[in-house]
Amino acid sequence: MNDKRVVITGLGILASNGKGREEFWQALEEGRVGYRPVTLFDASEFRVNQAGEISDFDPVPYMGPKKLRLLDRSTKLLVSSAKLALKDCGLIITEENTDDIGVSVGSTMGSVRSIAEFDEVTLREGPRYTNPGLFPNTVINSPASQVSIWCNIKGFNSTISSGFTSTIDAMNYAYDFIQYERVKVVFTGGFEELCWHTFFGFHTLQFLSGSKEGQGFFNCPFDQRRNGITFGEGAGLFCFEELEHAQKRGALILAEVLGFGYSFDPFRINKYNPLGTGLKESIRNALENSDVEAKDIDYIAANANSTVAADKIETAAIKEVFGKQAYQVPVSAVKSMTGEGYSVSGVFEVAAALAAIDKSFIPPTVNYHEADPDCDLDYVPNKSVKADVDKSLVITFGPNGSNSCMVLGKFRE
């Protein structure tokens, strides 16, 4: 067991199907999808034009109308989520406590559009014609730095880029900083931005549902019809807080962070290990580090992203680790509603696990209609269910070897 208890006292989240903690949770309970035809760029050249786009995002209500001109979409999304998180947790940042507050963010492709557009001007017009004010947007840690600037946070500031597991890895880092008594509070989570460049990349790799000739568009994790991801975007920050600090200021405690598990299992570039070796190990590590047994888990927030291989591998891993109980514990895929947000998907999953604990419901896997013999667990099809959830497991993994899991529990004195 770890010495310091770490709790979650707030959440600021922006997703394609909801903004803010309560709205996002309501969307999950109702099974409301956020993907729609892309409007941020012309998608007519692609075989598929659906994505989990936050099409009505406006940073002004969160950040005010000033100092926005030189900030890119990624930064506005993340800072806006930070403002929501600050309001949600009720923490007032002052010169007396700012050094005890940190920022730990996960993202991998958050700067791709800014880099591409900045370099395009450099190549076409020459470096003298670029706007130097836009250069900071090309650096992956710039959005996290802007969170500290806009919120007057002077503790540590880190950005972790580990692909699909980035946000869980960032939360693990935040958890460790509190354990080591380096800070009392960390705003942790991540972000990704939908843009032509990332959409083009996933489409070219034929990773998107409907991107292969002759295939239709289906965002249906665990379903027999699944054929690829639906790209999504968003941002979210949780307020991780040392328990005594939270209690002293009378904060609302949503859940307790019990532990993490990680395993790096490189197999092939852009290929999942069909044996799921690292995934199984990360699940076991998370349970062991949390001092929790498989039988204690009441809900699994799955990585499931509607790809044929990943959903099958995840199902097999759950069955091996959980044994017969695998058929008793509900497993659901929030990406059936938000799309695959790459690095930020961990935020969506943890938010779902948090809702299960705090609001006593299991989010559904929507668009589930045709059973797959290889995916035969309880995926909470199409409608949420009421349930008393004491502990939740969050699973994230990617095709390049990273596997990260997290366990949340209901807070008890």
Tens of pLDDT, residue by residue over 253-290, are: 999 999 999 999 988 888 899 999 999 999 999 999 99
Examine the domain organization and report whether 87 and 218 are in the same domain. Answer: yes
Beta strands in 41-184 (DSSP E): 50-51, 101-106, 157-160
Which residue among 218, 248, 278 closes a domain? 248
Examine the domain organization and report whether 274 and 378 are in the same domain. Answer: yes
CB atoms within 10 A of CB 47: 16
Examine the domain organization and report whether 271 and 196 are in the same domain. Answer: no
Q: For residue 145, is pLDDT > 50?
A: yes
Examine the domain organization and report whether 148 and 200 are in the same domain. Answer: yes
Predicted local distance difference test score (pLDDT) of residue 412: 94
Please indicate, yes or no, if residue 1 is contained in any of the structural domains: no
Tokens of 11: 């959440």
Q: Residue 386: give its domain's CATH number.
A: 3.40.47.10
Question: String of b and e for 25-37 (b: at least 16 CB within 10 Å)?
Answer: bebbbbbebbbee
Examine the domain organization and report whether 83 and 173 are in the same domain. Answer: yes
Q: For residue 134, is pLDDT > 90?
A: no
Tokens of 75: 């930064």
Predicted local distance difference test score (pLDDT) of residue 207: 94
Which residue among 248, 274, 306 closes a domain? 248
Please indicate, yes or no, if residue 90 is contained in any of the structural domains: yes
Residue 51: half-sphere exposure toward Cβ, Cα within 13 Å: 32
Cα separation, 154 vs 160, whole angstroms: 18
Please indicate, yes or no, if residue 153 is contained in any of the structural domains: yes
Q: For residue 383, is pLDDT > 50?
A: yes
Q: For residue 80, is pLDDT > 90?
A: yes
pLDDT-derived band at 1 (thresholds 50, 70, 90) equals very low
Please indicate, yes or no, if residue 282 is contained in any of the structural domains: yes
Structural domain tally of the chain? Answer: 2
Q: Which one, of 285, 290, 253, 279, lies nearest residue 391 by Cα?
A: 290
pLDDT tens profile 341-355: 999 999 999 999 999
Please indicate, yes or no, if residue 254 is contained in any of the structural domains: no
Examine the domain organization and report whether 383 and 288 are in the same domain. Answer: yes
Examine the domain organization and report whether 29 and 173 are in the same domain. Answer: yes
Examine the domain organization and report whether 244 and 284 are in the same domain. Answer: no
Give the contacts of 373 (CB within 8 A, at least 6 positions apart).
Answer: none
Tokens of 240: 């991780």
Examine the domain organization and report whether 172 and 300 are in the same domain. Answer: no
Partners of 52 in the β-ladder:
232
pLDDT-derived band at 129 (thresholds 50, 70, 90) equals confident
How high does pLDDT run on average in the chain? 96
Residue span of the structural domain in which 241 resides? 6-248
pLDDT tens profile 293-311: 999 999 999 999 999 999 9
Query: Which ranges constitute the DSSP H helices of 157-220?
Result: 166-179, 196-204
Please indicate, yes or no, if residue 405 is contained in any of the structural domains: yes
Examine the domain organization and report whether 286 and 176 are in the same domain. Answer: no
Predicted local distance difference test score (pLDDT) of residue 2: 60
Please indicate, yes or no, if residue 353 is contained in any of the structural domains: yes
Average pLDDT for residues 345-373, to the nearest whole number?
A: 98
Examine the domain organization and report whether 102 and 122 are in the same domain. Answer: yes
Give the contacts of 100 (CB within 8 A, at least 6 positions apart).
Answer: 155, 183, 184, 185
pLDDT tens profile 28-65: 999 999 999 999 999 999 999 999 999 999 999 999 99
pLDDT tens profile 165-214: 999 999 999 999 999 999 999 999 999 999 999 999 999 999 999 999 99
pTM of the model: 0.96
Cα separation, 89 vs 82, whole angstroms: 11
